[in-house]
Amino acid sequence: MAFSVLHFLYCSMILSPFVTFSVVAQTKANIVIGDSHTAGSSSSPWLVSSPSGDFAFGFLPQDATPDQFILCIWYAKIQEKTIVWFASRDYPAPKGSKVEITADDGLLLTAPNGDQLWKSEVTVRASSAVFNDTGNFVLQDGGSNSVWESFKDYRDTLLPSQTMEKGQKLSSKLRRDDFKPGKFELFFQNDGNLVLHSINLPSKYANKNYFETGTIESDTLSAGKQLMFDRSGGLYVLRENNQKHNFSEGGSGVSVSTTEFYLRATLNFDGVFTFYQHPKGSSSGSGSWTPLWSEPGNICKDNLAEAGSGVCGYNSICNLGDDRRPICNCPKWYSLVDPNDPNGSCKPDFVQSCAEDELTKGKDVYEFEVLTDTDWPLSDYVLQKPFTEELCKQSCMEDCMCSVAVFRLGDSCWKKKLPLSNGRIDPTLNGAKTFMKVRKDNTSLVVPPIIEHKNNRNTMIVVGSVLLGSSACLNLVLLAAICLSTSYVFRYKKKLISVGKVETTVETNLRCFTYEELQEATSGFDKVLGKGAFGIVYEGVVNMGSVTRVAVKKLNSFLLEEVQKEFKNELNVIGLTHHKNLVRLLGFCETEQERLLVYEYMSNGTLASLLFNVLDEKPSWKLRLQIANGVARGLLYLHEECSTQIIHCDIKPQNILLDDYYNARISDFGLAKLLNMNQSKTNTAIRGTKGYVALEWFKNMPITTKVDVYSYGVLLLEIVSCRKSVDFEAEDEQKAILTEWAYDCYTEGVIHDLVENDQEALDDKKTLEKLVMIALWCVQEDPGLRPTMRNVTQMLEGVVEVQVPPCPSQISVQYSLV
């Protein structure tokens, strides 16, 4: 190494792990061009300490990722890791990164691959550097003039003898251990006022100040000139007329000793600017940072971001802690969007949407969680006054836009909408009652994945058509819901991937459960949802970041041998499919004796129960059309849009499930391959269900996606008529086979018979006719005549006209064979 080493500083190894990083520090009188240090190189640690040894400059490993380093300045003699300056906000430096003193770029930080991570901008060529006892690292020119110094490259902390000029600012970290730029700034405005405000990232739009020194005077002489942190520990704004304006009321009465204490003022990641002291001199470096004063007085109340989330994230509630720092909490039945960011936004653990409310009208879905003195002051959309508490609750309950109602002042009712911003507990609200609308059935918590990357176009068309057909107000809510769901899906996906990485042996985003986990999740396989050809399905609840209701399918043990080989390969394929009309496979479990599949729980049952429940009224025509479209889109995805083509082989109303929004979601796709079903042509190997299978299964013909098209045709006729494909109890024999009866109705011009007295369908005769014609094309005996699912969706959407279908012919043959 090129520098002259004055002495080595040995710190006790028995101190905290942090102190062990500074095992060897060098005090440097002068650091010269070309000096360098590599992150993580234990043989030659280049930890420069200031002459007194109080500060060190070098690489510190990050707590969470010890292979990543921060180039920074910290207190070298105390146990508590306290960084006062750091080089790059954007990237931590991977092990092997190098910092070098260069003439042209000053301090230059490069990654092991040579990429430049950060550099100090020098005004003039640098020729040496010094590290002062104040904690200031200074680059100098040949005449020992400063060309760059850490004291002028502001981060989040000020130290004694540091000053700040107009136009400069401190900027908080993003989180406690995340050095990226955060959302709070201490800004010395050009008008002399020193202010605190939050910014909206990434644009940095500044919200209203939540603290000001007010050093802006009409008389320019008394306006602020400089922020001073003097050597004796005073922190104040120096006015143009050289008078001092104490930064904080609290600060004026505090006397501090810089000989006995380290002092620092830090803009914390949560927006509070705090002045701290720490005892010097203890050989063990013990003691802690004590806040002497801080601003603002009550950040939860003082900060009101008119165009941002406020101190905490959206839907969160800010409560002031003893140290005047905010504590952010999610309301009950809400959880953190990012579990690693306690000050971040909260999302409801349940679904609330006008679209769903319309469908579930009459059902008592919500209840109120009552909070006191809690408010989101800028999230109102309506004020009702005079109003009673009872009316206030009722009007929120019946209003699908309403998420919270605040009743206050004896006669005023503010209704509020999501996302809620600036949430706070404020005792001065004097007994305000806050009614939060939450779902009664708090276990139906999962927001179904709505939007899939690959299908953005399709989704946008759907969104577009939904939006065109609804009111402007409803549109906003729908858009918000869609945006929320989209981001949720992203996060959810991410969460799944990360969970999967830790726990699964399969390289996929599926979670690998242990048998015990699923046993516990289903309370010992207690509640049976249903039984199918391949096993029993149980209801359960698992924790996937938030409480998630699931359906667990326990595959019959006689299948095990067949399943064994291909199980994980096939799971990988299924695990990669994401579409809003498919039931997501969330995970699996594999033991010697058992194979289990864990699916999203579908709260509204099967299409079979919706269509064929004779006791209920027929579901609305509109809903049935929506379901028919959904199934077609799901199938199109399986056939053409996912990475590996999947032929379902068992499309029937029992395998179409309905989610919280009554979206059609195809289940059991991929099972045909997963269960190693030989898609051959023998009767025993028929994967499918009587009444829905195409003739290829019985003939010596290849099995293609057209078998699903056939089944879809049958399903479509069932959706139209709300009756089963085969009904030997039908009063008229002619009607026993739905496909045949449908063709008869079509040719005889009595399509209306198919829907009986379903007025909605009769009023929409054109669509009715179109659906029947599409279905008849789908059930053609000759697979070559059947459309593809893409054609089907185009016909459904009206992009392509439907031609007159020929007679499907020989349709009945299959029933005699099965």
Q: How far apart are CA 268 and CA 274, in angstroms?
A: 7
602 binds, among ligand ATP, Mg ion, none (CB under 5 to 8 A by kind): ligand ATP
Using CB under 6 A as the binding rule, whether residue 295 contacts ligand ATP is answered as no
Q: How far apart are CA 318 and CA 326, in angstroms?
A: 6
Using CB under 6 A as the binding rule, whether residue 279 contacts ligand ATP is answered as no
Residues at the contact surface with Mg ion, assessed by CB under 5 A: 532, 655, 668
5 binds, among Mg ion, ligand ATP, none (CB under 5 to 8 A by kind): none
Query: What kind and span of H or E run contains 237?
Result: strand 235-239
SS3 of 809, please? coil
Q: How far apart are CA 519 and CA 98, in angstroms?
A: 52
407 binds, among Mg ion, ligand ATP, none (CB under 5 to 8 A by kind): none
Give the one residue of 5, 497, 533, 750 binding ligand ATP; rule: CB under 6 A. 533
Find the shortest distance in angstroms from Cβ 667 to Mg ion: 5
Q: Which DSSP category does 166 fall into? A: T
DSSP annotation string for 59-105: EEE-SS-TTEEEEEEEESSSSS--EEEES-SS-PEETT-EEEEETTT
* Residue 132 one-letter amino acid: N
Outline where 664-803 has alpha helix (H): 671-674, 706-721, 738-748, 752-755, 759-763, 765-778, 789-797
531 annotated among ligand-binding-site residues: no
750 binds, among ligand ATP, Mg ion, none (CB under 5 to 8 A by kind): none
Q: How far apart are CA 713 and CA 726, in angstroms?
A: 14
Is residue 668 among the annotated active site residues? no
Using CB under 6 A as the binding rule, whether residue 602 contacts ligand ATP is answered as yes
Which pair of structure tokens corresponds to residue 381?
A: 């959309």
Using CB under 6 A as the binding rule, whether residue 529 contacts ligand ATP is answered as yes
452 binds, among ligand ATP, Mg ion, none (CB under 5 to 8 A by kind): none
Using CB under 6 A as the binding rule, whether residue 532 contacts ligand ATP is answered as yes
697 binds, among ligand ATP, Mg ion, none (CB under 5 to 8 A by kind): none
Using CB under 6 A as the binding rule, whether residue 697 contacts ligand ATP is answered as no
Stretches 80-88, 163-171, 513-521, 527-535: which one binds ligand ATP (CB under 6 A)? 527-535
Find the shortest distance in angstroms from Cβ 397 to Mg ion: 36
Give the one residue of 19, 450, 551, 656 binding ligand ATP; rule: CB under 6 A. 551
Looking at the Cβ atoms of 347 and 553, the one nearer to Mg ion is 553
Using CB under 6 A as the binding rule, whether residue 6 contacts ligand ATP is answered as no
On the question of a cis peptide bond just before residue 331, with omega within 30 degrees of 0, the verdict is no
Residue with tokens 């292979």: 67
Query: What kind and span of H or E run contains 49?
Result: strand 48-49
Find the shortest distance in angstroms from Cβ 689 to ligand ATP: 6
Stretches 85-93, 266-274, 534-542, 563-571: which one binds ligand ATP (CB under 6 A)? 534-542
650 binds, among Mg ion, ligand ATP, none (CB under 5 to 8 A by kind): ligand ATP
Residue with tokens 């251990």: 177
Q: How far apart are CA 461 and CA 488, in angstroms?
A: 21
Q: Which residue is nearest to Mg ion (CB)?
A: 668
The count of other CB atoms within 10 Å of the CB of residue 445 is: 21
518 binds, among ligand ATP, Mg ion, none (CB under 5 to 8 A by kind): none
Find the shortest distance in angstroms from Cβ 737 to Mg ion: 23
Looking at the Cβ atoms of 314 and 601, the one nearer to ligand ATP is 601
Using CB under 6 A as the binding rule, whether residue 583 contacts ligand ATP is answered as yes
Give the one residue of 289, 387, 599, 637 binding ligand ATP; rule: CB under 6 A. 599
Q: How far apart are CA 531 and CA 131, in angstroms?
A: 74
How many CA atoms are closer than 13 Å to the CA of 167, on its beta-carbon side? 1
Looking at the Cβ atoms of 642 and 675, the one nearer to Mg ion is 675
Using CB under 6 A as the binding rule, whether residue 534 contacts ligand ATP is answered as yes
533 binds, among Mg ion, ligand ATP, none (CB under 5 to 8 A by kind): ligand ATP
Positive/negative CA dihedral, 202, 207, 213, 214? positive
Tell me if 624 sits within 8 A of 720, measured CB to CB: yes
By C-alpha distance, which of 64, 288, 75, 271 is closest to 177?
64
Looking at the Cβ atoms of 535 and 619, the one nearer to Mg ion is 535
Q: How far apart are CA 701 and CA 693, in angstroms?
A: 13
* Residue 397 one-letter amino acid: M
Phi, psi of 716 (to 5 degrees): -60, -40
Beta bridge partners of 186: 170, 196
Find the shortest distance in angstroms from Cβ 328 to Mg ion: 43
Looking at the Cβ atoms of 504 and 606, the one nearer to ligand ATP is 606
Show the binding pattern over residues 640-679: x = contacts ligand ATP (CB under 6 A), - = does not.
----------x---xx-x---------xx-----------
Looking at the Cβ atoms of 672 and 717, the one nearer to ligand ATP is 672
Looking at the Cβ atoms of 324 and 579, the one nearer to ligand ATP is 579
Which pair of structure tokens corresponds to residue 291?
A: 């806040």
Using CB under 6 A as the binding rule, whether residue 601 contacts ligand ATP is answered as yes
Tell me if 724 sits within 8 A of 714, measured CB to CB: no
Find the shortest distance in angstroms from Cβ 539 to Mg ion: 15
The beta-strand segments (E) located in 664-725 are 664-666
Helix axes 621-636, 789-797, angle to 10 degrees: 150
Q: How far apart are CA 119 and CA 107, in angstroms?
A: 5
Looking at the Cβ atoms of 485 and 655, the one nearer to Mg ion is 655
Tell me if 168 sits within 8 A of 154, measured CB to CB: yes
Using CB under 6 A as the binding rule, whether residue 476 contacts ligand ATP is answered as no
Give the one residue of 68, 172, 606, 780 binding ligand ATP; rule: CB under 6 A. 606
The count of other CB atoms within 10 Å of the CB of residue 576 is: 14
Stretches 385-393, 491-499, 595-603, 673-681: which one binds ligand ATP (CB under 6 A)? 595-603
Find the shortest distance in angstroms from Cβ 567 to ligand ATP: 17
Stretches 175-183, 502-510, 593-601, 805-813: which one binds ligand ATP (CB under 6 A)? 593-601
Tell me if 26 sits within 8 A of 47, measured CB to CB: yes
Tell me if 509 sits within 8 A of 586, measured CB to CB: no
Find the shortest distance in angstroms from Cβ 672 to Mg ion: 12
537 binds, among ligand ATP, Mg ion, none (CB under 5 to 8 A by kind): ligand ATP
| Active-site residue, selected from the candidate residues 375, 650, 668, 758 | 650
Residue with tokens 């005090």: 27
Which pair of structure tokens corresponds to residue 41?
A: 């190189």
- Kindly give, in sequence order, each residue whose CB lies less than 8 Å from that of residue 300, ignoring residues fewer than 6 positions away: 311, 318, 319, 320, 326, 424, 425, 426
SS3 of 407, please? strand
SS3 of 596, please? strand
Looking at the Cβ atoms of 237 and 602, the one nearer to Mg ion is 602
Phi, psi of 301 (to 5 degrees): -90, -40
Looking at the Cβ atoms of 517 and 650, the one nearer to Mg ion is 650
Which residues ranging from 56 to 75 are in contact with ligand ATP (CB under 6 A)? Answer: none
Find the shortest distance in angstroms from Cβ 364 to ligand ATP: 22
Q: How far apart are CA 8 and CA 32, in angstroms?
A: 18
Find the shortest distance in angstroms from Cβ 202 to ligand ATP: 39
Q: Give the count of residues interacting with ligand ATP (CB under 6 A).
A: 23
Looking at the Cβ atoms of 35 and 668, the one nearer to ligand ATP is 668
Find the shortest distance in angstroms from Cβ 577 to Mg ion: 16
Tell me if 774 sits within 8 A of 799, measured CB to CB: no
Which residues make up each annotated binding site? 554
Which amino acids are annotated as binding site for ATP, given as ranges?
554
Binding interface with ligand ATP (CB under 6 A): 529-535, 537, 551, 553, 583, 599-602, 606, 650, 654-655, 657, 667-668, 689
What positions carry a catalytic annotation? 650
